Amino acid sequence: MQNFDPILLVIYILSVIIFLVQIKNAFNDEFTIKFDAEHLKQQLEQHGLADKVVVGFSFDKRYEYNKIKQFGIEIKNLSKTASIYIDWDRSIVTDWREVGTSAALKARRICRLNPGTTIDLSQSQIFSTIAPATAFSATITAEDTLQRKGKGKGLPADSPLNLELEVAKPLLTFKAGKQLTLFQQQEIDLEFFVELALRFTGAEWGLSSDRLNVLCRFVMTHLPWKAGLPWNPR
């Protein structure tokens, strides 16, 4: 019986190692999102708008994979004479790619969320207007994340839940693969983009003006696995 003791010991040690690795992997799924404000500032400066408009975004402090479904946006109109219009139907949010690459990105139409939203996704969205010296804020997501609340629940056709929309899918989807492994190991960062279609009208630009598309860049950085431990602040 003693001849089997070393084998049992090895099996026990391997079991403990496998168990600890699984625990580590369970916590190794959190990342942060940072808005690249300098990237946007350069574009606004090129068009002489750096002192006319401020764009900001709000995210949670950290996210787990496939848990980000929406985020906040705020646009401040610093002009005293011009209005800003946001063309949601021509504004997009992309999926993600590795920073430093030129991989093609999938673009999805941005949808502005309101409580009890019942918009028809096949129809155009109403422009949002930002009057001079005011600010506008909203929660946004991608069109393909939305579905009717009553979908698949066998509700009557006239149920209000068959009209109301909800965010039912992740905004950014993470699947197992080489890039995700490198991301987990903190060897690469990932990025995605929002392109906003803005129109400025008023004395400074005349009665109407061409639409200006500005590209907003976001960088995702993976957190060390220890950050996911329950006693670490969130």
pLDDT digits (tens, 9 = 90+) for 170-216: 999 999 899 999 999 999 999 999 999 999 887 666 545 668 999 99
Note whether residue 32 is domain-resident.
yes
Average pLDDT over residues 27-44: 92
Residue 105 sits in which domain range? 2-228
Q: For a pLDDT cut of 70, what percent of the chain falls above it?
A: 72
Average pLDDT over residues 128-137: 95
Q: Number of structural domains, the chain?
A: 1
Across all residues in the chain, what is the average pLDDT?
Answer: 84
Tell me which range, 1-15, 33-47, 220-234, is most confidently predicted by mean pLDDT: 33-47
H/E segment holding residue 92: strand 92-94
Note whether residue 234 is domain-resident.
no
Distance from C-alpha of 149 to C-alpha of 124, rounded to nearest angstrom: 21
Note whether residue 76 is domain-resident.
yes
pTM: 0.83
Q: Quick one: three-class SS letters along 93-158?
A: EECCEECCCCCCCCEEEEEEECCCCCCCCCCCCCCEEECCCCEEEEEEEEHHHEEECCCCCCCCCC
Distance from C-alpha of 94 to C-alpha of 113, rounded to nearest angstrom: 18
Note whether residue 101 is domain-resident.
yes
Distance from C-alpha of 62 to C-alpha of 228, rounded to nearest angstrom: 10
Note whether residue 47 is domain-resident.
yes
Note whether residue 53 is domain-resident.
yes
Q: Which residues contact 212 (CB under 8 A, 6 or more apart)?
A: 47, 49, 197, 198, 199, 200
pLDDT for res 148 = 78
